[in-house]
Amino acid sequence: MGRNDALKAARLRVGWRSLEKAAESLTEHGRQLLDDRQFNVSARTWRRWEGTTPGWPSEETALVIHDALGRWPEDLGFTTPPGWIRPEQHEEEERVKRRTFVSVTAAALVPGPVALQYVDPALIDYFQQQLEGHYRADMFLGPHDLIGTVSAQYQLIDKLVRSAKGETRQGLLRAGAAYAALVGWLYQDAGDMHGAAFWRGVTQEIAVRSRDPHLIGYSLVNQAQVRTDLGDGAAAIDLCEATLEDSRRLVPKVRIMAMQQQAHGASLTGDRSTVDRLLDEADGLLSRVDDDLPWGNACRRTPGYLEVQRATCYGRLGLGSQAASLWNQVLEGVPASARRDRGVYLARHATAAAGAGNPDEALEIARAAADIAIETRSARMTRELVILQRRMRPWQDSPVSRDLDGILAPVMERS
């Protein structure tokens, strides 16, 4: 077990350069905050907090730490006791949980039946055109500003499906599955994995109802993507293998998506040879992508799509130099419009640079990534920057590490 570097970084950010200064300053802060002249934290106590077994402070000390450093003890490396709930959460926690669940599920769980109405087939094209606009907006805005808009449109599609007949109904089901997939992605990018998993399930249900084998495969790849973000490589592989069992029925685009996601699963299990094999096979299919399906077009829209996946997988595998070289190539082709994606790539590039033993280069790359993370509020980007902090631990006592903490502090506060 390592030392408590999070607490050390926090005290350095507020200018407490020594353990003695930190103990003295926190004592004075606590006496003023609590109006208690007996409140005291010794240098010996602080030394233990920054050691390998920091323990847990009393509730009033936790309040003082939060007020002084802006973060709760569980965010500063302390050992969280069972059942700990932050003081301000005691009254709100259950209400927030109920409200969050209702907001996540409301658009998908509308009770019926609804009043029947005529549904014009032209609405299918309308929703497909809107979907492409949402994909573009996501690249500019990130998830938070779009979740409400896209989930509301899914709710309208769900309502129309209940009245539509024949081919119109099938077309709306296909559109509904694509919209549900996008909502799931937005929740995933916002860091709400519970919301993401719920909407990925909705996607799969609607895809099955549509009887469209391509959408069913797409929905399984979406589920695998969630599993990858959860670090469950074996489950991601299972879902992608299930997608590819009858690959002859699938358009090349879906097969590419399944192969690249399976490669991510393989990277989580440390299997480089399978990563390269799958991505090479997917590369052989790129020239055959010619469908007019409005969803899942990242392989056409993203410059260097498969090299992005390879660089990401290499980073997970600890191949810092090779990943950094690939990121240099990839970032040259990323357009200004793909700002959120560029931020994620920069964060991964910085981590690769650190893994290759270049902390100063990692720091400079992280500066640009942090600016984008603050702007877009992408939890995925923040998660990549947390990984970067861990990769920079070999330099934790150097100026470059302190500079990195300062650059990332606003990102962590916003998250």
DSSP string, 17-73: -SHHHHHHHHHHHHHHHHT-TT----HHHHHHHTSS------HHHHHHHHHHHSS-G
Predicted TM-score (pTM) of this structure: 0.72
- Averaged pLDDT, 6-30: 91
Q: Do residues 41 and 65 touch, judged by C-beta distance below 8 A?
A: no
pLDDT computed for residue 1 by the predictor: 43
d(CA 226, CA 196): 7
The band of 279, judged by pLDDT with boundaries at 50, 70 and 90, is very high
Task: Return the HEC string of 230-274.
Answer: CCCHHHHHHHHHHHHHHHHHCCHHHHHHHHHHHHHHHHHCCCHHH
d(CA 376, CA 310): 25
Q: Any idea which of 28-32, 55-59, 228-232, 302-306 has the lowest mean pLDDT? A: 55-59
pLDDT computed for residue 211 by the predictor: 93
pLDDT computed for residue 90 by the predictor: 47
Is the pLDDT at 95 greater than 70, yes or no? no
DSSP state of 287: G
Neighbours of 344 (CB within 10 A): 23
d(CA 40, CA 410): 30
pLDDT computed for residue 84 by the predictor: 63
Q: Do residues 254 and 289 touch, judged by C-beta distance below 8 A?
A: no
Q: How far, in whole angstroms, is CA 140 from its chain's centroid?
A: 16
The band of 121, judged by pLDDT with boundaries at 50, 70 and 90, is very high
Q: Any idea which of 56-60, 111-115, 178-182, 275-279 has the lowest mean pLDDT? A: 111-115
The first and second tokens of residue 319, run together, are 């191949």
H-type helices in 286-333, by residue range? Answer: 298-301, 305-316, 320-332
Question: Taking the C-alpha atoms of 250, 252, 257 and 262 in order, what is their torsion angle to the nearest 10 degrees?
Answer: 80
Residue 357 CA neighbour count, 13 Å, CB half: 1
Is the pLDDT at 285 greater than 80, yes or no? yes
CA separation, residue 376 to residues 132, 338, 345 (Å): 20, 11, 14
What integer best gives the mean pLDDT of the chain?
88
- Averaged pLDDT, 149-163: 93
The band of 154, judged by pLDDT with boundaries at 50, 70 and 90, is very high
H-type helices in 269-304, by residue range? Answer: 272-285, 298-301
pLDDT computed for residue 85 by the predictor: 62
Q: Which of 246, 228, 245, 229 is CA-nearest to residue 237?
A: 228
d(CA 227, CA 221): 10
